[in-house]
Amino acid sequence: MGANLLFYSIVTFFVLFFLWDSFLELDREMLPIIPGMVADVNIVHGKKTILQYLINPVLKLRENAFRER
């Protein structure tokens, strides 16, 4: 019996983005944005994020798992 191997690839994207301002306004207080700060960035293409495009095949597999054809 042969071994079942799962092959997958890791896809990475290089993204460069720019900010319009060097500060954030919160409760009428100006907060500076400085190098080294952590940010969460969502890339939206149309109405879906890149993550939704990447995870969609996995979700379809989960929906159809163990179903008869």
Per-residue DSSP letter, 22? S
What is the model's pTM? 0.36
Lowest average pLDDT, out of 7-11, 36-40, 57-61, goes to: 7-11
- pLDDT of 66 > 60? The answer is yes
Task: List the structure tokens of 47.
Answer: 């109405």
* Confidence bin at 5 (pLDDT 50/70/90): low
For tokens 């879906």, the residue is 48
pLDDT at res. 64: 76
Q: Measure Cα distances from 52 to 56, 63, 64, 68 in Å.
A: 6, 15, 18, 26
What per-residue confidence (pLDDT) applies to 7? 66
What does the pLDDT look like over 21-58, one tens digit per residue?
A: 888 888 889 989 888 888 777 776 677 777 887 888 88
